[in-house]
Structure 1
Amino acid sequence: MSQAATPESALQQLQWRYATKVFDSSKKIPDDAWKVLEQSLVLSPSSFGLQPWKFFVIENADIRQELLGHSWKQAQVVDASHLVVFAIKKDLNAADVDRYINRMASVQGVPAENLAGFGGMIKGFMEKPPYPLDMDGWSTRQVYIALGQFMTTAAMMGIDTSPLEGFSPSKYDEVLKLGEQGYSSVVVCGAGYRSTDDKYGEKPKVRYPTEEVVEYIG
């Protein structure tokens, strides 16, 4: 039986979280905690469960230094304990659906042909969507769901994160050779522990009042 966080502790960690500007480069995320963050990516929800993504964890310090030059010199790229590049699977197609259906059949222990109807429904959505749809744009929106899950999981464990859109995706793709693998970078997130030098860590959050951003329609 799972043990849920209390409402009080969950809210406390959400209030504690902020987009870390300065990481303490001497502090590393313990392996057991990182494995949870890794699984937060694996377990992220996506439309149809299709998982149109891959997450690249950049461990090589020289590569991180090179990426720094393509990230508006934001030091989080080199100082964070872990750096994750969130990428989409480009040009998602019927073959990707077949791969997913085969995986579902294997995990759930059912014949793939039993899932043919579900697979056909996904392919129909991709081929004739009910609204104007760019598949790479759709996949990008799925990736941001994974980013949110990653950041929230980190906050629940007292681990800081810093999401970054201020980088050159084409340069990241070139350095990491993502295009050759059929992927394209969308957003980057550093994870680690805040430095005491980060003046933003103690500043109060600036948010609109709840009643201005949440409306109940009865």
Structure 2
Amino acid sequence: MASNTIKKLQWRYATKRFDATKKLSEGKLDILKQTFNLTATSFGLQPLKMVVVSNPSIKEKLMSFTFNQPQVRDASHVLVLCIEKEIDANFIVDHFKRVEDTRNTSREILEPYEKDLVSSFSEKHALEIRQWMVNQLYLTLGALLTVCAIENIDSCPMEGFEPENYDKLLGLAEKGLKSVIVLPVGYRDETDFFSNLKKVRRGVEELVIKFD
């Protein structure tokens, strides 16, 4: 018998039609915010931010930059997952200051790691750092999709959108951010045909390789 967690993951699907009359409670929205904050990232640097859009007129405009996919308009909230435009020495130093303040760790212990990380990033090409940040963002997407399923929140991850227009409308460049993924969340419409279809997967036996 499938566990409750597996049943939730089987229930989850990329929602094609949201019920525009149903909205997430502040409590449910806070769970998603906390999930985004608590997801693991490399070095714990969190080179990303999440923009939460619920304003109907803004969602309507964003839909036109998402190939007119109605999920963006009808979802309760649209989560726009973004990366930082750059990671410099100050960003890394701020992280270690946060570690020091939160854990009361001495500078003597932190300083060598801080210097190594600053040095490492200074030697990386900008494109390499950008790809690293995108990888971290996909970690948070996976966590968000899983938590949405556990909390009975519908979602639809989208890569098919116009990042430049999103960035311009939401003023992301001024915030030092660049949009990467769009995640409408809310509750499925009962008329969504896809909600009742069986999942098509390759299967555990084919995907999992064991060395006993």
TM superposition score category, shorter chain reference = over 0.9
Q: How far apart are 1:124 and its partner, in Å?
A: 3.0
**Aligned ranges for residues 54-73 of structure 1 at < 5 Å?**
54-73=49-68
Give the RMSD, CA atoms, in angstroms.
Answer: 1.9
**What is the DSSP-based 3-state SS (H/G/I as helix, E as strand, rest coil) of the residue aligned with 1:88?**
strand
Task: Choose from 41, 45, 57 the match for 1:46.
Answer: 41
Aligned residue in 1 for 2:90: 95
Aligned residue in 1 for 2:164: 170
Q: How far apart are 1:111 and its partner, in Å?
A: 3.8
The 1:47–1:78 alpha-carbon spacing in structure 2 relative to 1, beyond 3 Å, is same
- Alignment-mate amino acid for residue 19 of structure 2: D
Task: Choose from 142, 153, 165 the match for 1:148.
Answer: 142
Aligned residue in 2 for 1:3: none
**What is the DSSP-based 3-state SS (H/G/I as helix, E as strand, rest coil) of the residue aligned with 1:163?**
coil
Q: How far apart are 1:167 and its partner, in Å?
A: 0.3
Q: How far apart are 1:82 and its partner, in Å?
A: 1.2
- The CA distance in 2 between the partners of 1:60 and 1:75, in whole Å, is 15
**Aligned ranges for residues 8-47 of structure 1 at < 5 Å?**
8-47=3-42
- The CA distance in 2 between the partners of 1:116 and 1:186, in whole Å, is 32
- The CA distance in 2 between the partners of 1:205 and 1:137, in whole Å, is 30
TM-score by length of 1: 0.92
TM-score by length of 2: 0.94
- The CA distance in 2 between the partners of 1:113 and 1:190, in whole Å, is 45
**What is the DSSP-based 3-state SS (H/G/I as helix, E as strand, rest coil) of the residue aligned with 2:157?**
strand
- The CA distance in 2 between the partners of 1:190 and 1:82, in whole Å, is 6
- The CA distance in 1 between the partners of 2:112 and 2:16, in whole Å, is 48
CA deviation profile, 1:58-100 (whole Å, cap 9, x unmatched): 1222111111110000111111111100000012111110111
Identity level (%): 35
Task: Tell which deviates more after alignment, 112-121 or 17-26.
Answer: 112-121
- Alignment-mate amino acid for residue 158 of structure 1: N
CA deviation profile, 1:119-157 (whole Å, cap 9, x unmatched): 12222331345x996111110110011111111111001
Gaps of 5+ in 1: 1-6
Q: How far apart are 1:180 and its partner, in Å?
A: 1.2
Aligned residue in 2 for 1:75: 70
- Alignment-mate amino acid for residue 92 of structure 2: V
Task: Tell which deviates more after alignment, 106-115 or 163-172.
Answer: 106-115
Gaps of 5+ in 2: none
- The reply to whether residue 180 of structure 1 matches residue 193 of structure 2 is no
Number of positions where the alignment pairs a residue of Structure 1 with one of Structure 2: 212
Q: How far apart are 1:217 and its partner, in Å?
A: 3.0
- Alignment-mate amino acid for residue 166 of structure 1: G
- The CA distance in 2 between the partners of 1:44 and 1:96, in whole Å, is 19
- Alignment-mate amino acid for residue 177 of structure 2: Y
CA deviation profile, 1:8-49 (whole Å, cap 9, x unmatched): 011110111000010011111122122111100111110000
Aligned residue in 1 for 2:200: 206
- Alignment-mate amino acid for residue 150 of structure 1: L
